[in-house]
Amino acid sequence: MVEHLEREGIYLTEHQHNIRLMDNFVAYQLIYANKKLIGAVKFTQKSAEIELMQLQIAPEYQGKGYGSAVINRLKTRVAKIKLTVLKHNPAFHLYQQLGFVVTGDDQFEYHMQWNEN
């Protein structure tokens, strides 16, 4: 994740990284494949909506369907998923392929949303 932030010109101190990690830490879920830790997802759910805050898959497991599987599983729980993604993060294309549309942007990120309908 650090490389995606730095690619955008965002440089965080160790303290800032720790704050980012601990924010809603209870919402983290670890992702395993064949008993090996390969990533993590952090989201909050309110009624029929999820805010996807982070989805991280280890580089050697990216492009193998794990991120898609996580998101598709989240889609079974709600009618709407919102997220932000750094503008130069390759995950942007994954989200588009999974039906997310850009609803806005700021200097660094696209705001995206998926709706069940």
Write down all domains in the chain, each with its CATH number in brackets.
2-115 (3.40.630.30)
Element (H, E) at 7: helix 2-7
Q: Cβ of 92: how many Cβ atoms within 10 Å?
A: 17
Predicted confidence at residue 65, as pLDDT, reads: 97
Predicted confidence at residue 3, as pLDDT, reads: 64
Q: Are strands 49-57 and 80-86 parallel, antiparallel or unpaired?
A: parallel
- Mean pLDDT, contiguous 10-residue spans, the chain (117 residues): 62 66 70 96 92 94 96 96 94 97 96 96
User: pTM for this structure?
Assistant: 0.78
Residue among 69, 62, 73, 100 nearest 84 (CA): 100
Q: Are strands 101-105 and 36-46 parallel, antiparallel or unpaired?
A: unpaired
User: Bridge partners of 42?
Assistant: 28, 54
